[in-house]
Amino acid sequence: MTLDRNPAPTENRAASEPLTGAEPHPPAPKGRFSLRSLMRGDLGFLPVLLTLGLIALYFQITTNGVFFQARNLTNLTQQIVVISILSTAAVLVLLLGEIDLSLAAVAQACAAVMATLSVYQSWNAWAAIGAALLVGAVIGLINGFFVAVLRVPSFIVTLAGSIGYAGLLLLVMGRQSTLIVRDPTIRSLAPTYLDPALSWGIPLIVVGLYAAGLWFEQQRRARVGLSTRSTGKLVAQIAGVLALTILVVFLFQSYQGVPQAVLISLGIILVFWLLLRKTPFGRHLYAVGGSAEAARRAGINVVGMKIIVFTLASTLAAVAGIMLTSRSTAVATQISATLLLNAIAAAVIGGVSLFGGRGSVWAVVLGALVIGSLDNGLDLLNQDQSVKNIVQGAVLVLAVTADALVRRSNPVRGR
């Protein structure tokens, strides 16, 4: 899959971006290089990849080679599954130009509903999971109603919601501070490893479908007279994705196999990438995030879009809570103080704009890897939680600062 930061089609940007009246900066003369021209260009995921590479290299050296061991990298990918899913929810809301501060509380509350129904009511595992997802969807619907229909700022709605849903968590859990889940189906969702046939088969099938999709897209564009990529570039793109897939699967297989939880999180990201990239819903979402008023004048149902996005976000938060429960085998009344921060930080570090209308759902992968690598590496170095919080906060500030500088250097794109 192509990791592109601006999945909104070019023809949609005219509707998704406001008319500020500012003229674009003139292009830098040929042969001349300037920081301003570089900032106005689209560097894609290159800065994040470079940052991730430097972090990984530093920890590889300081941990005497432990960081790149197959066992540690497998543990690292499993550790960021919950952040990845929750960050996907954060991306959807951020693309609207809104924010959801209740995601962590929703995840924990929905997990408590599932655990309570499974342990005390003896519900079937899938029925309990379905109930948790339904509660998440209802919570998102409520958030969306206040934000879209009553036009209460999302910051206030979700901040109040995080307090209220934390209270719901305490109500569901009763007097217990921790509830252990013993259902084997729920407990097996996160820690299970796929057998070699599935470990190789599923990723290679996905790569095959990706290659077929690129080919059909190439043919469709050629039929209607649009520009197409050269055959060499197309083959190189597919070969690069195939090589990366083989490398990652080989790495997993050298330890215990592909973790099921990693496959679930990547599957969720893939589904939402397709939704945002290939459907009218995605184009409308970017348009609303670029300028809600311009989108409304273009005939887009802005209220409906916001309600749907907040509903999807809280449902994804419920999924994250389910996976967290499966990994820890228990639900606690204490909500992680850093879970929400890490989810939003992963999205912003990966390139999703806090101002809406810009970014890709694949930002979650790189952003979560940066956050997870910092956590994992500092754990290997036996650093305190205080040090980890300071480092993560500094990285988040740098990412937001970079986003603000890019928008300031190109006012036509800013909101």
Q: Kindly report, residue by residue over 193-236, the tens digit of the pLDDT.
A: 998 898 899 999 999 998 998 888 888 888 888 888 888 888 89
Q: Looking at per-residue confidence, does 403 or 73 come out higher? A: 73
Average pLDDT, the chain: 84
The model carries a pTM of 0.84
Nearest to 139 by CA among 307, 321, 324, 282: 307
- Phi and psi at residue 299, to the nearest 5°: 95, 10
Burial class (CB in 10 A: 0-12, 13-18, 19+), 165: buried
Write the secondary structure of 157-207 as one string of H (helix), E (strand) and C (coil): HHHHHHHHHHHHHHHHHCCCCEEECCCHHHHCCCCCECCHHHHHHHHHHHH
pLDDT at 408: 65
Domain layout of the chain by residue ranges = 45-192+259-409
pLDDT at 45: 65
- Phi and psi at residue 330, to the nearest 5°: -160, 160
pLDDT at 98: 93
pLDDT at 24: 40
Per-residue pLDDT for 370 more than 80? yes
- Phi and psi at residue 226, to the nearest 5°: -85, 160
Greatest mean pLDDT range, 36-40, 95-99, 214-218: 95-99
Lowest-confidence pick of 18-22, 53-57, 200-204: 18-22
Per-residue pLDDT for 17 more than 80? no
The one-letter amino acid code at 198 reads L
**Fold for the domain defined by 45-192+259-409:** ABC transporter involved in vitamin B12 uptake, BtuC (1.10.3470)
